Structure 1
């Protein structure tokens, strides 16, 4: 007896294939609806599986004879088995039924068990050799390979299999993350929400919570049964962790031996106003002789703005239009103890502008460079600007407009991701009052807020 399995869209599609390959004496042993492809039993295409057979040497007739169940053949009348034995048919049917059952039950299993079931299922499907050649076809069915137009579709390619496994992995990760969020104690979830509200990057927020949970477990403050945690303990450990992260990043105030301070940064971040605040601080509080240099000749009235501050503070001002004039300006101010140099704000996401302004910062004096950034800007843009300036060794930042935003997470993000050290925080336009040196303890308290 010769047995053949067909997978078609509908039963009528299989009849001419059976007639051509097995002859008109073939009978249909079984038909059932199956699903092919998909992910974890979902989104599969509906197909019809048809199993047909013909006795060896059978022929003649005019049509395929469907039968719901094959009649048993007496042992004495059993013909010789040619290509596929009934035992093999039973084994294939059992294997297919088992595979389909595993696929249907995979959705009801936990994430890890679902992954194992899917991999086992794919391995089972790959045990049978694919019908990708005439020799393999004849070895499987015992009949001559049909024309190419009538051949079965090839099995799932390696790329498709990898895509399914990749999708499954992403699904498992999402399920795992949802379970973690549901199991997270309320105090830790509140801390996590606070960090995200302050626009701390998700990676840093996750890292902070991991370290806080570890400290809670080491201190036996985490109730394993009820999951109850004291909110004050969570905030205390978070504060300790953040202070450890920021240790050594405090840039401090302007050094007494500093002779030149350059100010660079994008347009509209408040460089000129910050210069006036720091110049007033150094003149009125430290008693140092201060001078101004500006190369901001692009913005309308930029020179006039700085000249107004210079007149109020009674300090000299020099204007330069090119890098070649910088030496002349320093010569004119050689009697000054501290010189503040303002530069034009440009689109410093463009590295060309960064290299251009960097040519103005070359001096033989003891100099520092402050990158001025506004806390109201987008972190992605701030990060790109910081990355371009970091190539030239600039790692000190003066943050402005803290009073215009409630989110201060960008300071932590830039410090941890780019190593930028905060110097001053400006929080208003009043000269010289609305500016203060950066203090990690004050910043962390502001970032976390009150525990209750």
Structure 2
């Protein structure tokens, strides 16, 4: 993983510098204002510093500048390298001794991030937001480091290693401990459900047995192995596919060393998951001419309502010229629903019956910013309907710049999602992902599964029926927090 900092007059300039060196696949990890130093520094304007990350595989030939515990020194001695690169070597208390108390970890991590000694743990826009998000990570860590000496999870005055906490940290620690109790309770409850469910007991036992065989490192202390198992069980409980859960725990195990603090492992897996989701891609206007936004997907996932939400935002909030088109002539209700939305917004609406109609619409709305196109949901085995949609899309692609959004329900089973995404891939090629009905499910693992399976960019999620409010830009940080057990649902 490559993590670098760039400065500029503003965020845009610094980000462009990062893209110029590392390419378009960067993920912005942190943005902050920095003041120049030196004589007359107060007369100089502050600059914007952007911290970005990139998977090493995305930039061939370039090595990461991030120090890792597995790095060795020039002589190949791992012991010295571990001493230099272990997380505790970066984060020390004022006396210079490394601290492993979970009570002070959040504060130490925040200080280390701000000083640039370690990469930021969470994607954030302000330093205050970083502190808040570090508390969330701290809650997860606290779950993993609970001792077996009878310590109570919800006791804000307790410390895992018996060290008393500073008085100025009591309020923050109480908050962290409270959240830790909620996290621990949800993870513990999930674990008990797995153990007690008679239908899935044998399957769960087999899964955990396979996990135990796959993770047999005898050199790791029990605390580290327990953390890896907790991570694995939490991912499975949130419907992350076993293959991807194993990949993540394998990566944690590879970087683990007997004396490496768990906070490093937790930070690493968090960063890995956020980076695997990649940059979120939303609807952007063309520099010149109209742009067709084509919405595809199976029946009943909420394509029409999603189009109405996005059209409302583009027209009302961004003051864009928007026209609504539908090629769904199979369902009268869908066309009428879109017509109603268009009437309320006072924007053009047209039903497309043929290729000639589509060509005419492209010509008539050539001065518009966006053409939002609704397509018919269909059976994956109906070749005639599939061919019709492909022909409409090709016509638009020949007339103007266009992009496709595959709309999926978060409540759909994983196996069905695989078939749907593969079918539309053969139909239209590249597409971006929108997940609907997030308010109707308690697990979000399929968002990660489908992103990993398709490699398609994430765009939006919807969490209700209200137009235009119940839609949001996809936020990888929130989803990863849910997947790691830090929250009960994606907000």
Whether these two folds match at TM > 0.5 is: yes
Aligned to 2:228: 188
Cα offset, 1:173, TM superposition = 12
SS of equivalent to 2:388: helix
Structure 1 vs Structure 2 CA RMSD: 2.7
Alignment of 1:33-432 (within 5 A): 177-179=211-213, 185-217=225-257, 220-221=259-260, 230=262, 233-248=264-279, 250-257=280-287, 259-348=291-380, 353-362=385-394, 363=396, 364-391=399-426, 392-432=428-468
Once residues 189 and 174 of structure 1 are traced to their aligned partners in structure 2, the CA distance between those partners, rounded to angstroms, is 9
- TM-score, scaled relative to structure 1: 0.55
Name the CA distance, whole Å, in 1 between partners of 2:458 and 2:308: 19
- Partner of residue 474 from structure 2, selected from 420, 438, 452: 438
Shift of 1:349: 5.5
Shift of 1:174: 9.7
Per the alignment, do residues 315 and 187 of structure 1 end up closer, same or farther by CA in structure 2, a change over 3 Å counting? same
Aligned partners of 2:231, 2:446: CA distance in 1, in Å? 17
Q: Is the 8 A contact 2:463 2:471 kept in 1?
A: yes
Contact 1:349 1:381 in 2 (8 A): no
| Structure 2 residues not aligned, in runs of 5+ | 1-205, 217-221
Distance 1:438 1:195 in 2: 20
Q: Distance in 1 between matches of 2:353 and 2:292?
A: 18
Tell me if structure 2 keeps the 8 A contact 1:188–1:234: no
What's the CA shift for 1:394?
2.4
Q: How many residues align?
A: 271
The Cα shift of 1:205 comes to 0.2
For 2:244 and 2:291, how far apart are their aligned partners in 1?
37
SS in 2 for 1:284: helix
Please tell me whether the aligned partners of residues 277 and 433 of structure 1 are also in contact (alpha carbons under 8 angstroms). yes
CA distance 1:333–1:173, change in 2 (3 Å): closer
Cα displacement string for residues 231-251 of structure 1 (whole angstroms, at most 9, x for unaligned residues): x55432221121232234x22
Which structure would you say has the larger Rg?
1
**Judging changes above 3 Å, is the alpha-carbon distance between structure 1 residues 244 and 217 closer, same or farther for their aligned structure 2 residues?**
farther
Question: Distance in 2 between the 1:246 and 1:200 partners?
Answer: 13
Residues 376 and 405, structure 1, Cα contact 8 Å, conserved in 2: yes
> How far off is 1:333 after superposition?
2.7
TM-score by length of structure 2 reads 0.51
Q: Which runs of 5+ in 1 are unaligned?
A: 1-171, 223-229
Structure 1 residues 429 and 174: alpha-carbon distance in aligned structure 2, compared to 1, 3 A threshold:
closer
Residue aligned with 1:261, SS: strand
